[in-house]
Amino acid sequence: MDQAEFRTLPMAINVAMSVCTYFLTVRLIPSLKDTFIKANLCGIDMSKKNRIKIPEALGVVCGCSFLVTMFLFIPIPFSDYIFKNADFPHNEFVELLAALLSICCMLLLGFADDVLDLRWRHKLLLPTIASLPLLMVYYVNFNSTVIIVPKPMRPFLGLSVSLGILYYVYMGMLAVFCTNAINILAGVNGLEVGQSLIIAGSILAFNIVELSGDLWKAHQFSMYFIIPYIAVCLALFKHNWYPSKVFVGDTFCYFSGMTFAVVGIIGHFSKTTLLFFIPQILNFLYSVPQLFHLVPCPRHRLPRYDPETDKMNPSTTVFKYGDLNILARFIMRIFKTFKIVQWKEDSDGTITCNNLTIINFVLIMFGPMREPTLTTILLTIQVAGTLLAFVIRYPLASVFYDV
Ligand code: UD1
Ligand code: MG
């Protein structure tokens, strides 16, 4: 690394600003609770005895704090060029602006979703639209759609292949996946923010390791985003942890997913970013029958709360085996054979099966438990996923690539 070029001052300012943002956001969130309730932005915590109204969509406060911090930070990495009147790096500047534009756009669309309660097809469309500014900048600045082929496949495909337009489709889909994957692994206090914090922490650790490599600039860029992101998330986590005083809303899930997609795309480490989503990928694959309505999917799949024991139990979906199509029968048979679902069959062919989320899966494996214990187990799985990701990224990658 060129020590002269690697300037620590912008990073130090970024960290200092993030610390201030944390303290401001942690106070701002409770002070805005009543405003949200007045605006009817609230939800019932379904896993509590007293079903009181909890303000919802506080992710928008956290997202706005993040954006304000980033807007104030914009000139800092470029101050040298501004003062010395040197060759201004317009390409780096436009990257920063486009990344912020995409996140800002996602925050707005996410908030619209919380207010208007949009349908699932919109949930797929919104992140695609929000990622367009970013893809445009990627096209203008890099337009590199070449991927290195893993060693075992090189005899067939050669050293590298250019994916062309497919690479842009992949990047758009990455944004859709990151946003929705967090949103569907939700429903217990602290889980949405907790998992996002662990993913962000993993990205930060990866960036720090890679700062000594050739691509240090991309990783420094990613850190400029991830550090303030962690600050606002910690503030939200404090209020969202069991027993939740605020809910994060879909706004937060969109904002988080987009931030991860943005740093992954601009920092050229989108595959590694995906590796930090192992629990979300498993949850998505497990959910496929319900997401594609092969098996009935209730509006809420979060675990069922038992007020008698104060414990969470797997929630269920009920259907007739005869009503399932051939594909659904095939998939459910596999799930049943591998005993990854709780399956109860009545004499008249009525099936009671758990809702297909890894939250319910944990409850099947370990039995009913209190809500904070459940969240802690799920977050531990997320940490284990990160450790696995690092093993895949470093020792194992050398099997497939020349690293
Ligand atoms: C997604 C899930 C849904 C899950 C919901 C919980 C899919 C396809 N959708 O829907 O199964 O039930 O998230 O967030 O998997 N809530 C709690 N406790 C919490 C968090 C949320 O009770 O800790 C409830 C509150 O009533 C809150 C509501 O969930 O108002 C928020 O749900 P929302 O984010 O609108 O649901 P979706 O994202 O559409
Ligand atoms: Mg949600």
Beta strand ranges found along 17-155 (DSSP E): 42-44, 53-55, 146-148
Probe residue for ligand 1, chosen from 180, 247, 248, 358 as the CB with the greatest number of ligand atoms within 8 Å: 247
Which tens digits make up the pLDDT trace of 247-288?
A: 999 999 999 999 999 999 999 999 999 999 999 999 999 999
In the reported structure, the alpha carbon of residue 61 is separated from the centroid of ligand 2 by a whole-number distance in angstroms of 16
For residue 175, the model assigns a pLDDT of 94
Least confident piece of the model among 21-25, 155-159, 326-330, 368-372: 155-159
More confident residue, 399 or 177: 177
Which tens digits make up the pLDDT trace of 175-209?
A: 999 999 999 999 999 999 999 999 999 999 999 99
Q: What does the pLDDT average to over 387-397?
A: 92
Stretch (H or E) spanning 352: strand 350-354
The fraction of the chain above a pLDDT of 90, given in percent, is: 82
In the reported structure, the alpha carbon of residue 299 is separated from the centroid of ligand 2 by a whole-number distance in angstroms of 11
What's the CA dihedral at 175, 178, 179, 181 to 10 degrees?
Answer: 140
In the reported structure, the alpha carbon of residue 298 is separated from the centroid of ligand 2 by a whole-number distance in angstroms of 14
Instruction: Kindly report the number of other CB atoms within 10 A of residue 387's CB atom.
Output: 11
- Nearest ligand, CA 244: 1
Nearest one of 257, 282, 260 to 271, comparing CA atoms: 260
Probe residue for ligand 1, chosen from 60, 302, 316, 375 as the CB with the greatest number of ligand atoms within 8 Å: 302
Nearest one of 33, 44, 371 to 189, comparing CA atoms: 371
Which tens digits make up the pLDDT trace of 27-47?
A: 999 999 999 999 999 999 999
Given a contact cutoff of 8 angstroms between Cβ atoms, the answer to whether 289 and 329 are in contact is no
Return all residues near 317 (Cβ < 8 A) that are at least 6 apart: 290, 295, 296, 297, 298, 301, 352, 353, 354, 355
Amino acid at 329: R
Residue 395 has pLDDT above 90, yes or no: no
For 6, half-sphere exposure in the C-beta direction (CA atoms, 13 angstrom radius) is: 15
- The pTM for the full model equals 0.96
Nearest one of 247, 264, 236 to 170, comparing CA atoms: 264
Residues with CB under 6 A from ligand 1: 43-47, 56, 183-184, 186-189, 244, 247, 250, 300-302
Given a contact cutoff of 8 angstroms between Cβ atoms, the answer to whether 312 and 371 are in contact is yes
Return all residues near 386 (Cβ < 8 A) that are at least 6 apart: 198, 199, 201, 202, 276
Which tens digits make up the pLDDT trace of 300-338?
A: 999 999 999 999 999 999 999 999 999 999 999 999 999
Bond preceding residue 75 cis, omega within 30 of 0: no
Probe residue for ligand 1, chosen from 300, 315, 360 as the CB with the greatest number of ligand atoms within 8 Å: 300
For residue 4, the model assigns a pLDDT of 47
Residue 1 has pLDDT above 80, yes or no: no
For 166, half-sphere exposure in the C-beta direction (CA atoms, 13 angstrom radius) is: 5
Stretch (H or E) spanning 198: helix 191-210
Q: Which residues pair with 53 in a beta bridge?
A: 44
Instruction: Tell me how far apart the alpha carbons of residues 248 and 259 are, in angstroms, rounded to a whole number.
Output: 16
For residues 225-244, b (16+ Cβ closer than 10 Å) or e, as one string? bbbbbbbbbbbbbbbbbbeb
In the reported structure, the alpha carbon of residue 218 is separated from the centroid of ligand 2 by a whole-number distance in angstroms of 31
In the reported structure, the alpha carbon of residue 42 is separated from the centroid of ligand 1 by a whole-number distance in angstroms of 12
**Averaged pLDDT of the chain:** 94
Kindly give the number of the ligand 1 atom that is closest to the alpha carbon of 117.
Answer: 35
Given a contact cutoff of 8 angstroms between Cβ atoms, the answer to whether 246 and 77 are in contact is no
Which tens digits make up the pLDDT trace of 122-161?
A: 888 989 999 999 999 999 888 788 888 888 888 888 888 8
Amino acid at 167: Y
Kindly give the number of the ligand 1 atom that is closest to the alpha carbon of 355.
Answer: 11
- Nearest ligand, CA 181: 1
**Residue 6 — very low, low, confident or very high, per pLDDT cuts 50/70/90?**
low
What's the CA dihedral at 299, 175, 78, 139 to 10 degrees?
Answer: -150
- Tokens at 10, concatenated: 């912008």
For residue 396, the model assigns a pLDDT of 83
Atom 8, ligand 1: which residue's CA is nearest? 184
In the reported structure, the alpha carbon of residue 167 is separated from the centroid of ligand 2 by a whole-number distance in angstroms of 28
Atom 38, ligand 1: which residue's CA is nearest? 183
Query: What 8-state DSSP symbol labels residue 341?
Result: S
- Tokens at 317, concatenated: 């979906």
Residue 2 has pLDDT above 60, yes or no: no
Given a contact cutoff of 8 angstroms between Cβ atoms, the answer to whether 74 and 96 are in contact is yes
Instruction: Tell me how far apart the alpha carbons of residues 235 and 251 are, in angstroms, rounded to a whole number.
Output: 16
Decide if the complex's ipTM is over 0.90: yes
For residue 59, the model assigns a pLDDT of 97
For residue 122, the model assigns a pLDDT of 84
Nearest one of 243, 312, 284, 236 to 52, comparing CA atoms: 243
Atom 4, ligand 1: which residue's CA is nearest? 300
Backbone angles phi, psi at 148, to 5 degrees: -80, 130
In the reported structure, the alpha carbon of residue 324 is separated from the centroid of ligand 2 by a whole-number distance in angstroms of 27
For residue 392, the model assigns a pLDDT of 93
